A = this chain, B = another copy of it.
Amino acid sequence: MAKTRRYTQRKRAADREETRLRIVEATMALHEEVGPSATTISAIAQRAGVQRLTVYRHFPDETAVFEACTRHWLELNPPPDPAAWASHEAGQSQARAALLAFYRYYRETQRMWRAAVRDEPKVPALQEPMKSFRSQLNALGETIGKGFGGAEDSLPTTTLRHALAFTTWASLEAQGLDDEAMADLVMAWLQGVRN
């Protein structure tokens, strides 16, 4: 048994990390362009300028690449932080600020969101993060809804939960509304459910 050689990697580890990053970023790009469900390992390798085998060296299977991709994408594109409106006093302006923040976020990141929402049922690696994002949204909807005097399942809370969903943004965007107009529209809805 030979004496173990101390082998502290520096540049090699960095190179490896860089290759890994190229793979993850190629995956992100493909997820946006063709969607996760149509993103093959072959295509990832080609896009990253790497052999297919190299991808397998870094990730055991497609699911592992996808998970790394999701993590990395969320670091680059952090969603608005609900805590930011804990400071606002409850009510109109809090609600509008939250809606606007999410609508702007959805607009910036819409390509990935469309792909993710569309392929979620088919791509197990997407389901967990999407579910957790949705439950955060629902909690936020309830928090803000309380400012409108509603309980858990009150009309304001239901309206806010619906309004905060990406699919709602997409539906209103398809009608040509900009983010401000969407927020104003939802504020008007809240006006209606209040009475």
Contact = CB atoms under 8 A, between A and B. Distances in A.
Contacts of A161: 175
A112 B158 CA distance: 25
A101 interface: no
Contact of A171 (B35, B118, B162, B191): B162
A155 B185 contact: yes
A132 B43 CA distance: 34
Copies in the complex: 2
Chain A: interface size category? 20 to 34
A158 B171 contact: no
A189 interface: yes
A173 to B, nearest CB: 11
Nearest to A117: B118
Contact of A159 (B121, B122, B185): B185
Nearest to A176: B153
Given A159-B185, A185-B193, A192-B194, 14 more contacts: A118-B118, A155-B185, A158-B177, A158-B185, A159-B189, A161-B175, A162-B171, A168-B171, A188-B189, A188-B193, A188-B195, A189-B193, A191-B195, A192-B193
